[in-house]
Amino acid sequence: MFSTLFLLIALGQLVLFGLFVRALVTRRQLADLIPLVLTGLLAYENAVLGLGRWIGEGELLSGLNAPRFIGHALLTPLLIVWGFVLLRRQQVAWTLRTPAAVSVGLITAALVAYGVNHDIVHLALAPEQWQDTLRYANDNAPAGPPLTAILTGLALIVAGAQLWIESRALNLVVASSVMAMVAGLAGFFPVLGNLGELVLMAGILSALSVHASSTRVRRAVVSRRAQQVGWIAWPVFFFGSLMTFIPMFGTMDPADKLPVSALQYDVASASQGAWLVLMVLHAHFAISVFGLAKSGSRLRKFHVWFGYANLLLCFGGQLLFIFPQTATMGSHATTLVFVTITVHVILGAIFAVRRRGSRRKPNPRAERGPALQQVAG
């Protein structure tokens, strides 16, 4: 069953590959070579995964699996560069600055180096059976979720969110959000990651046809979306923390002796993936509206900057879970994040109450208008 599903995904990627070729010939944008080549790699990968059971264990299947790891190590992070170039085509102001281009280059280079180290230099292939499929996996792969796939997905979420602000196009932000959420589960249910990749590449293809528009989403609408996403993110984070750290459910900390069921780990990973997606969207919308928060009351400025600090703390805590040696520190960091985000939410609730109160407050000029008309009469 799953072997057939992988072959169907390969067929879908092959169709997208043909559409990418047509888009490249039509548009002649060099950066579009990145998703085109990556789509070809994904079609090859899914075909190998689907045919593995019939090829059988041995040197042939091992040799066919090796390009999967090499290709992902070199190509997947380059999608960050593609997303940056896409926003430059939209004439987004911050992408035209040198520090932004340098930052994107450094992040991409770091992820490529990370992938080369684990999936090329220290590649150790070993047969792995999953359901009715047979593949070769990397025995030296780092523990935890796939760092490169998740960070690339989050970067594309930022690009997709900005594309929505600039041109009201939702396809890329939806597709990259789906990919980021399922990437954490790919280690436990591999076909989800491959389906997520198919959705992502379809979203990237649709983004190629989006043209720069003068009808940006209004600032007030972006602010409202930031608030709505923020209100959703907190309960998702609370649920994920409950499933991860409350003793009655166990914990993901390797130093803890409490066992963790596979279902609990999957649910916790899914909620963390959803929370990261919502947090990135909330932060990007907030940054688009408030920027460096140069205006407003001291409490409002503190609220904005406190939120920015929370974002860094959140990512730092999540990255600590990647390495077994720092997983305990990750647990402590996440506990701290739970407290700081709760404070941030309380401050947000205070501002929400203030906004609602100001809307209900009558306008004194509007009240005096009729009275003045009566006197004049």
What is the SS3 assignment for 332-366?
HHHHHHHHHHHHHHHHHHHHHHHHHHHHHCCCHHH
0.85 cut: is pTM over it?
no
d(CA 191, CA 269): 16
The predicted structure's pLDDT at residue 321: 65
The beta-strand segments (E) located in 74-124 are none
Contact 187, 146 (CB under 8 A): yes
Positions of the chain with pLDDT lower than 70, given as ranges: 143-145, 184, 186-188, 212-214, 241, 243-266, 292-297, 318-319, 321-324, 327, 330-331, 355, 357-377
The predicted structure's pLDDT at residue 374: 43
Residue 276: φ, ψ to 5°: -60, -40
pLDDT tens per residue across span 250-278: 444 444 444 455 666 667 777 777 878 88
The predicted structure's pLDDT at residue 254: 47
Q: What are the CB-based long-range contacts (under 8 Å, 24+) for 13-17?
A: 13/39, 13/40, 13/42, 13/43, 13/46, 13/197, 13/198, 13/201, 14/43, 16/198, 16/201, 16/202, 16/205, 17/43
pLDDT tens per residue across span 95-117: 888 999 999 999 999 999 988 98
Burial category of 49 from C-beta neighbours within 10 Å (exposed 0-12, middle 13-18, buried 19 and up): buried
The predicted structure's pLDDT at residue 35: 93
Contact 288, 222 (CB under 8 A): yes
The predicted structure's pLDDT at residue 15: 95
Q: What sign results for the dihedral spanned by CA atoms 162, 167, 171, 172?
A: negative
Contact 126, 136 (CB under 8 A): yes
> Whose structure tokens read 């992070």?
77
Burial category of 164 from C-beta neighbours within 10 Å (exposed 0-12, middle 13-18, buried 19 and up): buried
Residue 170: φ, ψ to 5°: -100, -15
pLDDT tens per residue across span 43-100: 999 999 999 889 988 889 989 999 999 999 999 999 999 999 999 888 888 888 899 9
> Whose structure tokens read 């190998």?
48
d(CA 246, CA 258): 11
